[in-house]
Amino acid sequence: MSKRSSIRRGSFGRGLAVSLAGIRAGGAFALGSAVGRLRGEEAGNSELMRREARRFTAELGRLKGTYVKIGQMMALLGEHFLPEPLTDALHDLDSQTHPLPWSELEGSVRESLGDKYQELQIDSRPLAAASLAQVHRATRRSDGYELVLKTQYPGLAEVIDDDFDAVVRMLLLTRWIKAGREMDAWFEDMREQLHHEIDYRRESDMTQSARDRFRADDRYHVPEVIESYCSDTVLALEYVRGHRVTQPEVAALSQSRRNALGQAMLELFFIELYDWGVLQTDPNFGNYLIRSDDNTDQLVLLDFGSTLACDDNFRRHFGDAIAAGQIGNHALLADSLVGLGCLREDATEFAKKSFCEFCEMLLEPLANPENLPAEFLNDKGQYCWGRSRLMQRVGKHAASSAATRHFATPSRDFALIVRKLTGVFTFITVLDAEFNGHEIAHRYIDGWIGKVA
């Protein structure tokens, strides 16, 4: 069965298959928890549960389309409320996105573009493929202008809510989650984000807004939106050549050029949050290119389908958390974490101390240079992002912080911003950049406070 037909047909059957897989895993969870208690293991972390989590993930992969995307979202955001065996298994879905044959997609593109279709020579080989869409390169016949078409898989809008509801029912049947107001709010936020990802009119507007914001800053480039070839299911953008951060051409750049790219990436985060007011929340490496010539480099920003507008209250708490962490003020940091929705107001002193230490570690690269660990500095006193192994250290500490009952299921905004920040830090680590982030962070936070005070 083709991907197209698997998306369009059998909604009831697909939902039933997921529900049955969920019931099976629910039994494994109950049994695994009982066995785990006898062995002194963490409930739900048994080999039996891991096996059933992998089985369930394989079922999502078989069903393809929206189920894969929903599973990927759960892997990224569900770590705050789903058992570790499940989120570990769901991460396998990242490798299960395969392109649709052009013969299955061409009719939909032709229908979307109408008479404009004849103006383009479209390469049938995709440049990239994801769970909800794939990208094809095209050339305008009249003048040779090169563009790309991000093309949504046919029929997604018709099944997206049914598929999402089926996965939520599965999670409830398995007892991986408990029904409640907090979970309902989380899932509605995830549903909204899923709809944003297939709303190409919205993405077109966000891309144009970003292009306007960064137009005067030559460190960044946002591709031009070609409105005449856009529709509800096709997004047309300028074609930009460049390299992924993981490619050898980037690693071969000089240390100073990689430092500048790392600084630009970190500054981009604070520009989005405190200046533009809109945070692009998907830090996947595929959403960025590095465009270089003999002397200069640019970050190319490719995807604005997943964005978040943060309110002033959230930005103030986030700024306070950074400032408090840098001066070791655990009382202010704990208050800020409560305000951000990730620490309970009735948390014990032990829980506050544990989670504050976790946040201080995460924000280590933004600390005053005098307080940076000496073992991670070069001979100029600059932070060595690659040598620091920050993400590995943070990951180990996160497990102990989340284990306490005083760790609250965080707000969507906090979860998305931590996801973004860890993605930014990982990007800079891959660059193996060497610089201190303190001045960049405080320039934007202090500037924003000055404007709203």
b/e per residue 163-194 (b: at least 16 CB within 10 A): bbebbbebbebbbbbeeeeebeebbebbbebb
**DSSP labels for 330-382?**
HHHHHHHHHHHTSB-TT--HHHHHHHHHHHHHHTGGGS-GGGS-GGGB-TTS-
Backbone Cα Rg of the chain: 23
CA distance 403 to 450: 38
CA separation, residue 264 to residues 237, 309, 316, 444 (Å): 23, 21, 23, 13
pTM assigned to the model: 0.84
383, 436 contact by CB (below 8 A): yes
- Residue 168: what pLDDT? 84
Angle at 96 between CA 94 and CA 101, to 5 degrees: 130
What is the rounded CA–CA span in Å between residue 364 and residue 175? 37
Residue 15's pLDDT is what? Answer: 53
Q: Which residue has 């005067």 as its token pair?
A: 216
C-alpha 324/C-alpha 320 separation (Å) is: 6
Q: For residue 56, what pLDDT is reported?
A: 79
Residue 38 has what pLDDT?
Answer: 31
Short-list 327, 192, 273, CA closest to 449: 273
Per-residue pLDDT of the chain (453 residues; tens, 9 = 90+): 444 444 444 444 455 455 445 444 444 444 344 333 333 344 445 787 788 788 878 877 777 778 888 888 887 776 666 777 888 888 888 776 778 899 999 999 999 999 999 999 999 999 988 888 999 999 999 999 999 999 999 888 888 898 888 888 877 776 767 777 777 877 888 898 889 999 999 999 999 999 999 999 999 999 999 999 999 999 999 999 999 999 999 999 999 999 999 999 999 999 998 999 899 988 889 899 999 998 899 999 999 998 888 888 888 888 888 888 777 788 888 888 888 877 778 777 877 787 788 888 888 999 989 989 999 999 999 999 999 998 888 877 665 555 444 555 666 777 777 788 889 999 999 999 999 999 999 898 888 887 776
